Structure formats: structure tokens, C-alpha cells
Amino acid sequence: MKKIASFFVLVLLFAIAVPAWAEENASKGDLTVLPGNKSLLQGDYKLTNNLTLEAQSGEVTDYEEENKYKNENNKKDYFLRTDLRYQMNGWLGVKLGGRYDSQPEETIPYGGIDFATPFGSNNLKFTGFYNYNYEGKDWANYEFAWRIEMYKGQYIYAGVSGDAGTGFIPYTYNQDNDPEFFLRGDFTWAGSKLSMNYQPLLYATGEIFTVLNFRYAVSDRTNILLNLDDDYDHNMKYRLGIEHKF
């Protein structure tokens, strides 16, 4: 837990030091604090136009607690991820970092790539990612999809996703651990102060998951955020906190 505490101290110092500098500059980073039944803290800071420092810490999900890389006598409680992400060009990004889990007390390196490249028309892109050790030791996850912009800022993804590696235990709804075809929406409705982001996910097997984000703008840099998320494990997570841009 000392590493988690150190991380929070660093974030606090960052939050105190950066805003004064940022007053004379465009937004270079953001911090999200979401207490709840599975609390989450995350942030990023743009070091250069192509290089970003990213960090995330929170309580593990119920599914992760049952994953086999946990200590046999103690369940994991918290995780911490930190990495540097480099945008190599207009469509390809690479990240390298480390993940710490409180149970078992271990730190592992992780890496990943992500991409979003135009394909044909202006409203169609081929997108995806591949991560290794990001979700846990010896656990790889991936996604490849077509992203269609139906209207300005309203997207539909259609593709395939999956998990692999000896550190991953198949989900109860996919015991054979087959790659799954999916449809996912990313829809946003915004007013002067209130906005909502809705991300439904439908697998070809019939499983449905939902992510909902409700935002209230306190200022042009700060939002109150309510997050409802049952992604991956069907156990709804309720979080209420703030987002702040520096």
C-alpha cells in the first residue's frame, strides 16, 4: 500500500502545482476522481505534443478478484498503472509502463499499441488496440473494429475483441474463450451545462453491457461526473466525482 499512497501524494502535488502554470496555457492534462463502490482515480498529462504521461488507480473488479494471478490466500484490493504513451504518427500510438497490484504485492511491466486509421470515406476508420499485462499478469486483450461516425460525435463500432494468455480466466458467458464479434455505440448528448455519454455494448452471443456517464459543467474546466458501468462482469459500478482539466 505504500506505493499506492506515494502515487496519491504525487497526484496531489501535481494538482497543486500545475493549475497555476496552466492559467497561461492551453489545457495539457486532466484528473478524474471517482469515489464509489469500485473507486477510481485517473489522470494524464501531455509532456509534448506526442508524449503523454498516464496513470490510473482503483479497486479491482469482482471478476479480477477471482482471477488466478491473485494470491491464493488473499484477494487483490487495489491496482496502480502508470505509463508513457507516444503518438508515433497521426494514427498509431504506443505505451509502456508498469502495473502494481496490492494482492499479490507485485509490479509487472506492460505495453500496448492502439490505432485509428481512415479507411475510404471521411466517416469511416479502422481502429483497435493490443495490450499485454495491462489487465493482469500474462493477460493479453485486443480489439479490432470499424468505427462509423453516424453524425457529428456519434459513433458505432463493429468488430471483434478477445482475451488471451495464461493469466486470463474466461468469463462465465464465454467459457471457451472465443474471440467475440460485437457492436458498440458511443453516443453523446450535450446541453449548456448537462451532458450524457451512452456506450452500449452487444456481443454476438447476446450479452449486453452498458456504460453511462452524466456530466454537469461547474466551469469550462471542471465537471461533476456520475459514472454507471457494468462493463465485462455484469456487476454495476456506481461512481460520483469530478473531472478537472489543467
The DSSP string of 19-55 is HHHHTTS---EEEEEE-BTT-EEEEEEESSSSEEEEE
Number of folded domains that form the chain = 1
Q: What is the residue range of 115's domain?
A: 2-245
Output the average pLDDT for the chain: 87
Domain with 72 in it: what CATH number?
Answer: 2.40.160
- What is the tens place of the pLDDT at every residue in 145-172? 999 999 988 999 999 999 999 999 898 8
Q: CA 138, CA 166: separation in Å to the nearest integer?
A: 6
Q: Is the pLDDT of residue 35 over 60?
A: yes
Which one, of 51, 65, 52, 56, lies nearest residue 99 by Cα?
56
- What is the tens place of the pLDDT at every residue in 204-221? 999 999 999 999 999 999
Q: Is the pLDDT of residue 12 over 50?
A: no
Write down the pLDDT at residue 46: 96
Q: Which residue has the higher pLDDT, 139 or 120?
A: 139
Mean pLDDT lowest for which of 2-11, 34-43, 99-108? Answer: 2-11
Strands annotated E in the chain: 29-34, 40-46, 51-59, 78-87, 92-101, 106-119, 121-132, 140-151, 154-164, 180-190, 194-203, 208-217, 222-229, 237-245
- Its pTM stands at 0.84
Q: CA 17, CA 50: separation in Å to the nearest integer?
A: 22
